[in-house]
Amino acid sequence: MVSVAFRRQIEGYGLTTANILYRLPDHPALLQTYVWQDYDLAPVFPELKKFLDFWRAKLDGILHSVTVAHSGLIGPAELRAVGSEFRIH
């Protein structure tokens, strides 16, 4: 059985980390940080956009800034089919 994370990597998803700065609802002069991490497709980042839309709709902290880092963990050069196998005693 193949894990969901591995399957998503094969589909082109890479590990995405977003550092989200937001204003505290009771003290808007203060900033708080939140780190979000999931597999996402660069450069569009549909999963991150879905999360940020949820944040704006349901949470009270106003977003200040979002910094994104993305790493494709499996690339085409790293994954290849094996044509044959030889065994030597």
Percent pLDDT > 70 in the chain is 81
Q: What is the pTM of this model?
A: 0.76
A 10 A CB-CB count for 20 gives 20
Tokens of 66: 């979002």
22 vs 75, more confident? 22
Q: What is the pLDDT of residue 78?
A: 56
Tokens of 23: 């204003």
A 10 A CB-CB count for 68 gives 15
